[in-house]
């Protein structure tokens, strides 16, 4: 675009610029990792035929599990762990950490979550030690909870597996770039944000909330990832604890999990998130630039210190993301709509129809069509009205990025006002309006289903399905803002948000419950995935056998 050219063509300054300290630390960490000498290793190989089948299955799981892209690999790890471990929770000692490590790694490579012929076999020993630790925690938990605390024990076991998945992913994927970017963003925010009144929160809490906000805004990372990161900070030897330390950690974990969950969901965290979302574009583009330079590790520092070169690279990254934005949003919309449609199909045949018959109500053809099509139509309408960033956003994105990278650029500061607990008439009015908006939105949706003559039970279930759909559409809308800096809201967006945000809030709660009690996912885990994994193992062994026999031919 024409308006992009002057940003770097008019710059004649080529001497080295001084990087902000957070960016310099990021560049050094990433460069050192790329330049570190690579030891000889034996790569793990999986059969290509088995891999193609596994990748197809993973696409189906993406629809069923309804997870964000950043959580797909970790979700796959969780599935494998739960499939292996949960049937033997009463016999944890019979499980072999080494075998679990091999199975998890092989299935991740087959499913396309990790590259083939790249992961060293030597990493399996590190992985098995990590898994041993989590098996110990599970075994300890089996005697910690009372027989009446079934739900608490189940939630604890689930969380242990989810935290284990975080560490396994960290070991296998080694996301040094992403971790360094989160740290740089967090330190930048911490330096630029001031709290009013000054001593309302401690410096440690401010730094922690900056980190949480950065991780969520840039990569959309979830609570489980954040809890894992905070566990590493709380227990310095978390990854390699001694036997005594492991016993202490296991004893403290139930209460530690509760405390950390409260820390990452502090009310003030929302204010940090609002600031992080204004500048996340900077670090998204910086991630893209570092990815462009990964094959030239010796040039990374010098390239970033050359403002003209760096601006060209940022411009190219912006252009590429802008061009692919609509396609990526469309893919997200398709998978989200299919997930909602699948859940709607499940509730229709398993819940709605039996309930309608129970209460002597039936489904007409029109009612059934409305039941299926309205959620999909809502998703379609909410997605097609999403607009890409305006033309002038490009200059804002570049200038904001430069301000975070270089010391000689304008350093914008941010303030967070810590609310004192006191009555506010205006907030009370706003809360009432928000509540009324939610009630009217749900009432309007329910009325549409009512005039379509759906059974009463279906009206209730389908109204909640619409809330799930709106939540999914809002998540896609948020992804569309990845390039937006200081977004301006017009009257149409304001009115639409007034209607959809209350519904999306309810939808987010339902989505969490759907993931927690996803019966379709549970069915696939144990009734389909288990035999499917055995078939893939057989194909792998068969392929290896054929290769051996072929090698014998002379």
What digits encode the pLDDT tens for the residues 146-173?
A: 777 788 888 899 999 999 999 999 999 9
Instruction: Please report the pLDDT score of residue 125 as a whole number.
Output: 95
Q: Nearest CA to 66 among 479, 512, 480? A: 512
Instruction: Please report the pLDDT score of residue 12 as a whole number.
Output: 45
Under 8 Å between Cβ of 82 and 525? yes
pLDDT digits (tens, 9 = 90+) for 74-129: 988 998 999 899 888 888 888 999 999 999 999 999 888 899 989 999 999 999 99
Under 8 Å between Cβ of 97 and 121? no
Cα→Cα distances 131→81, 169, 363, 483, Å:
10, 12, 51, 39
Q: What is the mean pLDDT of residues 509-523?
A: 65
User: Which neighbouring-strand residues pair with 193?
Assistant: 414
Residues 6+ positions from 134 with CB-CB distance below 8 Å = 160, 161, 163, 164, 167
Under 8 Å between Cβ of 231 and 238? yes
pLDDT at 245 over 90: yes
Cα–Cα dist 290/483, whole Å: 17
Q: Which residue has the higher pLDDT, 377 or 189?
A: 189
How confident is residue 362, by pLDDT bands cut at 50, 70 and 90? Answer: low
Residues 6+ positions from 552 with CB-CB distance below 8 Å = none
Under 8 Å between Cβ of 213 and 181? no
Q: What is the CA radius of gyration of the chain?
A: 26
What does DSSP assign to residue 440?
A: H
How confident is residue 549, by pLDDT bands cut at 50, 70 and 90? Answer: low
Instruction: Please report the pLDDT score of residue 402 as a whole number.
Output: 96
Residues 6+ positions from 241 with CB-CB distance below 8 Å = 133, 235, 249
- How many CA atoms, within 13 angstroms, populate the side-chain half-sphere of residue 468? 25
Of 54-58, 263-267, 418-422, 519-523, the range with the highest mean pLDDT is 263-267
pLDDT digits (tens, 9 = 90+) for 494-508: 888 888 888 888 888
Under 8 Å between Cβ of 121 and 39? no
Instruction: Please report the pLDDT score of residue 510 as a whole number.
Output: 81
Of 334-338, 379-383, 522-526, give the lowest mean pLDDT range.
Answer: 522-526
Average pLDDT, the chain: 84
Tokens matching residue 68? 């964000």
Tokens matching residue 353? 């129809």
pLDDT at 63 over 60: no
pLDDT digits (tens, 9 = 90+) for 363-401: 667 777 777 778 777 877 787 777 778 888 999 999 999
pLDDT at 521 over 70: no
pLDDT digits (tens, 9 = 90+) for 439-474: 998 999 899 888 888 888 788 888 888 888 888 888
Surface-to-core class of residue 4, CB atoms within 10 Å of its CB (0-12 exposed, 13-18 middle, 19+ buried): middle
Instruction: Please report the pLDDT score of residue 520 as a whole number.
Output: 57
Residue boundaries of the structural domains of the chain: 44-174+519-545, 325-391+420-516
Q: What is the mean pLDDT of residues 345-373?
A: 71
Instruction: Pick left, alpha or beta for residue 420 (phi over 0 → left; psi -120 to 50 → alpha; otherwise beta).
Output: beta
In order, the DSSP letters of 469-514 are HHHHHHHHHHHTTTT-SSPPP-HHHHHHHHHHHHHHHHHHHHHHHH
Instruction: Please report the pLDDT score of residue 523 as a whole number.
Output: 59
How confident is residue 311, by pLDDT bands cut at 50, 70 and 90? Answer: very high
pLDDT digits (tens, 9 = 90+) for 273-310: 999 999 999 999 999 999 999 999 999 999 999 999 99
Of 34-38, 302-306, 486-490, give the lowest mean pLDDT range.
Answer: 486-490
């Amino acid at each position: 675009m024409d308006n992009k050219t002057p940003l770097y063509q008019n710059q004649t300054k080529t001497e080295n610029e001084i990087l902000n300290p957070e960016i310099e630390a990021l560049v050094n960490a990433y460069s050192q990792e790329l330049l570190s000498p690579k030891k000889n290793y034996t790569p793990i190989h999986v059969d290509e035929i088995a891999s193609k089948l596994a990748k197809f299955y993973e696409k189906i799981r993406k629809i069923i599990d309804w997870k964000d892209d950043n959580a797909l690999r970790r979700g796959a790890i969780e599935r494998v762990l739960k499939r292996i471990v949960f049937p033997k929770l009463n016999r944890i000692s019979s499980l072999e950490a080494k075998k679990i490590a091999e199975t998890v790694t092989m299935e991740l490579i087959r499913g396309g979550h990790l590259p083939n012929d790249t992961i060293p076999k030597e990493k399996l020993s590190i992985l098995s030690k990590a898994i041993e630790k989590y098996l110990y925690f599970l075994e300890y938990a089996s005697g910690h909870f009372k027989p009446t605390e079934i739900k608490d024990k189940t939630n604890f076991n689930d969380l242990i597996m989810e935290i284990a998945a975080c560490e396994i992913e960290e070991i296998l994927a080694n996301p040094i770039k992403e971790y360094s970017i989160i740290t740089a963003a967090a330190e930048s925010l911490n330096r630029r944000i001031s709290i009013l009144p000054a001593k309302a929160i401690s410096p440690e809490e401010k730094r922690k909330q900056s980190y949480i906000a950065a991780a969520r805004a840039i990569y959309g990372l979830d609570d489980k990832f954040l809890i894992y990161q905070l566990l590493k900070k709380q227990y310095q030897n978390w990854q390699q604890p001694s036997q005594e330390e492991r016993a202490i950690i296991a004893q403290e974990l139930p209460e530690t999990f509760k405390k950390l969950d409260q820390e990452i969901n502090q009310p003030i965290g929302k204010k940090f998130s609002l600031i992080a979302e204004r500048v996340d574009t900077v670090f998204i583009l910086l991630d893209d630039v570092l990815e462009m330079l990964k094959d030239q590790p010796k040039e990374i520092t010098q390239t970033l210190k050359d403002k003209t070169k760096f601006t060209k690279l940022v411009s190219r990254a912006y252009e590429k993301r802008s061009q692919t934005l609509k396609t990526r949003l469309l893919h997200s919309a398709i998978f989200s709509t299919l997930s909602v449609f699948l859940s709607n199909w499940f509730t229709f045949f398993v819940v709605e129809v039996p309930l309608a018959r129970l209460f002597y109500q039936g489904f007409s053809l029109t009612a059934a069509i409305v039941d299926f099509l309205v959620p999909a139509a809502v998703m379609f309408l909410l997605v097609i009205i999403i607009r890409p960033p305006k033309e002038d956003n490009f200059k804002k994105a570049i200038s904001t990025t430069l301000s975070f990278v270089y010391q000689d650029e304008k350093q914008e500061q941010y303030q967070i006002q810590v609310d004192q607990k006191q009555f506010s008439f205006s907030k009370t009015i706003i809360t009432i309006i928000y509540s009324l908006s939610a009630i009217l939105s749900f009432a309007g949706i329910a009325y549409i289903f009512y005039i379509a003559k759906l059974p009463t039970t279906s009206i209730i279930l389908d109204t909640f399905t619409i809330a799930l759909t709106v939540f999914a559409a809002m998540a896609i809308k948020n992804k569309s803002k990845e390039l937006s800096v200081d977004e301006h809201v017009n009257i149409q967006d304001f009115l639409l948000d007034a209607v959809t945000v209350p519904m999306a809030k309810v939808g987010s709660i339902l989505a969490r419950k759907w993931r927690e009690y996803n019966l379709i996912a549970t069915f696939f885990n144990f009734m389909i995935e288990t035999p499917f994994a055995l078939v893939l193992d057989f194909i792998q062994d068969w392929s290896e056998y054929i290769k051996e026999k072929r090698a014998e031919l002379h």
